[in-house]
Amino acid sequence: MKGSTLAMNKKYIVYAAFTVLAAVAMLSACTDKRSTGLEYARNMYDPIAYNQDQPNKNFVNGQTAQTPPLNTDPVGFVRFEYANTPEGFAASGALVNPLSLTEKNLLEGKHYYNVFCGPCHGEKGDGQGHIVKLDKGIAGVPSYYGEDPSHHTGETGLVKDLSAGKIYHTIFYGLNSMGSYASQLTPTERWKVVMYVQQLQKQ
Amino acid sequence: MRNISLIFRKGLKSVFVFAILSFLMVAGAQAQDLVEGKTLFKGKCASCHALDQNATGPALTPKMNEREEGYLIKWIRNNVELRASGDKTAIEAANYSPTEMTAFPTLTDDQIKNIIAYAKVGEPKKIVDAGTAVVDEGVSTLSLLGVIAIIIVSIIVLVVLGRAIKMLERLILQKQGIEVVEEENVSLAVGIKGLFKNKKFVFFFVICLIAVLGSFGWMGMWNTGVHTGYQPVQPIKFSHELHAGINQIDCQYCHTSAFKSKNSTIPSLNVCMNCHKAVQARKEDGQISPEIMKIYNALGYDADKQTYDKTKEKPVEWVRVHNLPDFAYFNHAQHVVVGEAAIRKQAGIKPTDPVCFACHGPVNTMEEIYQYSPLTMKWCINCHKEADISGKKNDAFYANVIAAHEKIKKGEKITPAALGGLECGKCHY
């Protein structure tokens, strides 16, 4: 009699051990990638001041990042005074690149060109960037050299003849399908890109 | 008689051959037209026109079917002249947009005809297999269910095997002529009570409990506040795998400020629109991809009229993945620009990959972005202990430090300003 109870207990012990192992295996698989998990003193992680892209109930539109008041400029900022019109474009032709043509400026211009312009305009400026080759909706990017006409309204010349100021105008406002790159490139960076584009025009 | 039929047959043959040849030639010529038309279209027209959707210029396929060829040739060659001649239709057509269409005086009649032929027919519609679009979600729950099922099945198997062994034993005993004493049926409650009286079992149970709770507690404490693998659901299903991987767009294109400032910003929607004004990933039924529609809706953008409605603007509320607490100062530009070479070497980043991968992992393979590195203090410190910045010794910053050291050696006066103590960022950040 005693022997049989011991056998029974042995069986139960095996079952219990199995259950515990199974539970451990299951619980360890239970990490939720959608949650940040346990946190101690969360308030030490959250800033007291508002971050730029945080919601903010103190403003009417509920955002922390506000548009600067009209007609204000940061210290040292030079405004681009030419309008986004055919007249403004024509007038911008008078602008001259304020940077001097150095190897360093050109190299930096090449870097920014390859990151921001190259995907569509191609690393050689032939209008055959890798995004164009994907053929997903962006096509017909003009070549900087050769006989491609400029698509600016009122401009009858070729892309290869566009002056520095007109290239800057195009980067600043965008043109047709091309968007404005003013938010991604600072004025100095834009002039460096202009410098590099003018090198590509000479091909 | 026979001659006549022979001649007749020959004639028939030649007519047949001629017909086939001419058919082939016509078909060939037409194919040539379309190919040349397509090349010309992509080169000259596609920067402003799409075939079936309005862009800078109107959708071309309907326009090409609307007017006769002769008129279209005149318009394409020089629309300015046509309007100047007082043509009412042309003046009306130009009202589509304030942007003037470029004149193409160098195109020949044949070239323009080819473009028109291509624009009328367009691309052959691709048949997309709907089955491939199925997204596999909830993999983790599925695997969890699988584990549970396996456990349940194995328990059942164990129980059944136990029963079977008992039966067999009993049968053997019966055959040997030994009378089997029926075991008393112990109720479950009594059985468990008996179990807890068994010292061996209680000892085993307690050991297990301590091991389980201990290991969970240990793991829990180590991982408190560590968000490795955190992958929140984002408002737009933006795929880094598609944009940074397949489409090879540089990190800097969207996260511009990572190379200029402390923060790596989330791009504003105008950056999305640089491409997605034209790339709409339309489905077979002409619907714009719902994820791209989310960009348009947030901007109040009307894809057909190509106008923005400021009153409908609302921000896209991305969920922050990498959150370094504000009591720790981290500067992206300092690492990505100044420390690039050292970090590349330390993390073993391929020259073709961006330096960002050192901390953010293989972003170009992440369909959904997640936190790759633990961002713990230990993780920062370990890299700062090991990374080699000796290549920086000629930098102005280190030159200052060396100069200050020389001064100290000579016993000259040294001020905090000599060590960069006047930098705003030393106190204000």
Out of A108-117, A174-183, B133-142, B388-397, give the one with best mean pLDDT: A108-117
Among B295, B298, B301, which Cα is nearest to B314's? Answer: B298
Which helix (H) or strand (E) segment holds residue B307: the answer is strand B307-308
**Contact by Cβ (8 Å): A88, A80:** no
Structure ipTM over 0.90, yes or no: no
Break chain A into its structural domains and give their ranges. 2-39, 89-201
Contacts of A25 in chain B (CB under 8 A): 147
Among B158, B65, B125, which Cα is nearest to B284's? Answer: B125
pLDDT at residue number B6: 58
pLDDT at residue number A149: 75
Break chain B into its structural domains and give their ranges. 2-24+139-222, 45-123, 240-375, 393-426
Q: B73-97 pLDDT, tens per residue?
A: 877 877 777 777 777 777 777 777 7
* B243 CA: distance to closest CA in chain A (Å): 10
Q: Could you say which of 2.170.190.11, 1.10.760.10, 3.30.200.20, 1.20.1560.10 is the CATH number of the domain covering B45-123?
A: 1.10.760.10
* Interface probe with B: pick from A1, A38, A148, most Cβ of B within 10 Å: A38
* B312 CA: distance to closest CA in chain A (Å): 12
Contacts of B233 in chain A (CB under 8 A): 34
Place of tokens 């129980």: B159
Say yes or no for a CB contact (<8 Å) between B195 and A23: no
* A162 CA: distance to closest CA in chain B (Å): 15
Amino acid (1-letter code) at residue B414: I
Say yes or no for a CB contact (<8 Å) between B275 and A140: no
User: Where are any strands of DSSP class E within A32-106?
Assistant: none
Among A120, A147, A7, which Cα is nearest to B44's? Answer: A147
Out of A105-119, B104-118, B411-425, give the one with best mean pLDDT: A105-119
pLDDT at residue number B16: 60
Q: Is the pLDDT of residue B124 over 60?
A: no
Say yes or no for a CB contact (<8 Å) between B198 and A9: yes
Q: B213-237 pLDDT, tens per residue?
A: 888 888 888 888 888 888 999 999 9
Q: How would residue B44 be classed by pLDDT, with cut points 50, 70 and 90?
A: confident
Q: pTM for the full model?
A: 0.69
How many CB pairs lie under 8 A apart between chains A and B?
169
Among A123, A185, A130, which Cα is nearest to B249's? Answer: A130
The tens-digit pLDDT sequence of chain A (203 residues) is 444 555 566 777 777 777 777 776 666 555 678 888 788 888 877 878 888 888 899 998 888 888 888 888 888 888 888 888 888 888 888 888 888 889 989 999 999 999 999 898 988 888 888 888 888 888 878 888 877 777 777 777 787 888 888 899 999 998 888 889 998 998 999 999 999 998 888 87
Mean pLDDT of the B31-56 span: 74
Rounded alpha-carbon distances, angstroms, from residue A44 to A40, A48, B22, B328? 9, 9, 83, 11
CATH, range A89-201: 1.10.760.10
Q: Is the pLDDT of residue B29 over 70?
A: no
Q: Phi and psi of A90, rounded to 5°?
A: -65, -40
Contacts of B235 in chain A (CB under 8 A): none
Q: How would residue B123 be classed by pLDDT, with cut points 50, 70 and 90?
A: low
pLDDT at residue number B366: 92
pLDDT at residue number B130: 43
Burial class (CB in 10 A: 0-12, 13-18, 19+), B50: buried
Interchain contact A58–B (C-beta under 8 A): no
* A96 CA: distance to closest CA in chain B (Å): 26
**How many C-beta atoms lie closer than 10 Å to residue A132's C-beta?**
21
